[in-house]
Amino acid sequence: MQIDGARLMGHIDALGRLGVGETGRTRLAGSDEDKAGRDYLVGLLREAGLEVVVDRIGNIYGIWSMPENKGLKPVMCGSHIDTVINAGQYDGCLGVLAGLEVIQTLREQGFQPARPIAVVTFTNEEGVRFQPDMQGSLVYAGGQPLAEALDSRDKDGLRLGDELARIGYVGTIDPGDIVPECFVELHIEQGPILDVEGTQIGVVESLQGIHWKRVTFHGAQNHAGTTPTSMRRDAGLAAAQVNVHMRERALASSKLLCTVGTCALEPNAVNVIPETATFTVDMRSPNKDLLDAEDAGLEDYLRELAAASGLTVESEQLTRFDPVPFDEGVCQRIEASCQARGLSHRRITSGAGQDAQMMARICPTAMIFVPSVNGISHNPREFSRSEDCANGANVLLDVISGLAQ
Ligand code: HGY
Ligand code: MN
Ligand code: MN
């Protein structure tokens, strides 16, 4: 069996044209642009004849069940369609639209699944507007109470729950009411390994740990031209020193990545020494002990730097996700499909956070990667070749149909 590659790429390109504005392709959770993507997907799910269900954190499910198997736990696939700022069009969207394509192909081929098959798109996977990331799947897997998640606020103080209601995606069932038999996520690698090696499929057997912090230094606002260096209490300098310190920690270890992706200075004026600096630190490692130690080490560094600089400091833990092993049985099914289809493949760890890491808490889960050209992602130049997307979707077709037998 083969999926319809042209239909899949047509859907990816059409979704990719939604939410394109001043900041490029940007569909942040709960935004009007997110609604546009959601509405488009719901239309496709309905056209495909699937039952569409939305839960109370806005996760959307397209379910194919038959009288003979209704009520059994579904085999699930899917990912997310929310994006970062100025995003590419494949991150998340490939996994959701390929899941739909797999179901459409199986129905057209007269496949008779022993179980329902469902495709899901999870709310707020990216965590850009509301934290933590992977929030819809985290709540679904029981990792965050629904009420707490709905109370998440963005930088303007808007609540996720209110934004989901505003765009019409507060659903009718509780997250987790649909109990999955297993979960398989197709995703672009977002890194350079498969592309550089020329390997067609990544069999994702694990995922690295992710810690996010939001840090605020408080110093003294003062005149840039009259304040002697020795008298300065410069919050902006401290933020820069943390960034340099974290790069030094990452360079000292082959298993640690650190990123300061946001930084806001107040009052943010060219001739004023900053009073406050609020920034985020994204730390990742496949080694839990190392990540925990670096997290504690950063806390110590923040306190020492503040004391030495005459500043005060606050830090808030936004996410703390341990590394995750995926299911060996599902990985072997992915490998069997690659072998049957003559696709080159290799085991790989996901550097990015994924909804699958939350689903792994509640059911056998693994992922399929396809190459990202030049390893670019979270960038409009993100690109995966059509034949690679089709290869990934065909492997997903084999694994899902096998699991649903
Ligand atoms: O942050 C991540 O790794 C994912 O893209 N949410
Ligand atoms: Mn993603
Ligand atoms: Mn992403």
* Sequence-ordered alpha helix ranges (H) in 201-287: 235-252
Q: Which one of 85, 94, 123, 125 would you pick to mutate in the ligand 1 pocket, going by the greatest count of ligand atoms within 8 A of its CB?
A: 125
DSSP bridge partners of 366: 184
- For range 145-158, the mean pLDDT: 98
Residues with CB under 6 A from ligand 1: 125-127, 133, 352-353
- Nearest partner of 263 among 296, 241, 293, judged by Cα: 241
Are the C-beta atoms of 161 and 170 separated by less than 8 Å? yes
pLDDT in tens, 350-374: 999 999 999 999 999 999 999 999 9
Please list the residues that pair with 118 across neighbouring strands. 63, 76
Exposure b/e, 172-186, CB count within 10 A at least 16 = b? eeebbebebbbbbbb
Rounded CA-CA distance 129/30 in Å is 9
Domain with CATH 3.30.70.360 in the chain: 209-321
Instruction: Please give the helix or strand (H or E) that residue 46 lies within, else none.
Output: helix 32-47
Indicate which ligand has the atom closest to the C-alpha of 87. 3
**Per-residue pLDDT band at 123 (split at 50, 70, 90):** very high
- What atom in ligand 1 is closest to the CA of residue 351? 3
Give pLDDT, residue 312: 98
Residues of the chain with pLDDT > 70, as a percent, come to 100
Ligand 3 midpoint to CA 133 (Å): 9
How many Cα atoms sit within 13 Å of 88 on the Cβ side? 20
DSSP letters, 67-89, are TTTTTSPPEEEEE-----TT--S
Amino acid 111: pLDDT: 97
Orientation of helix 5-16 relative to helix 32-47, angle to 10°? 160
Residue of 348, 280, 320 lying closest to 134 (CA atoms): 320
State the helix-helix crossing angle for 93-108 and 5-16, rounded to 10 degrees.
Answer: 140
Q: Using 50, 70 and 90 to split pLDDT, how confident is the model at 146?
A: very high
125: confidence class by pLDDT, cuts 50, 70, 90: very high
C-alpha closest to that of 104 among 205, 234, 10: 10
Give burial (CB, 10 Å; 0-12/13-18/19+) of 272: middle
The values of phi and psi at residue 388, to 5°, are -70, -40
CATH 3.40.630.10-classified regions of the chain: 5-208+325-403
Supply the pLDDT for residue 398. Answer: 98
Mean pLDDT of 378-388: 98
**Neighbouring C-beta atoms of residue 42, cutoff 10 Å:** 17
pLDDT digits (tens, 9 = 90+) for 319-343: 999 999 999 999 999 999 999 999 9
What does pLDDT average to over the chain? 98
* Atom number in ligand 1 closest to CA 284: 3
Q: Which of 86, 91, 133 to mutate to test the pocket of ligand 1 (most atoms within 8 A of CB)?
A: 133
Q: Which CATH architecture has domain 209-321?
A: 2-Layer Sandwich (3.30)
Q: How far is the CA of 293 from the centre of ligand 1 (A)?
A: 22
CATH architecture, range 5-208+325-403: 3-Layer(aba) Sandwich (3.40)
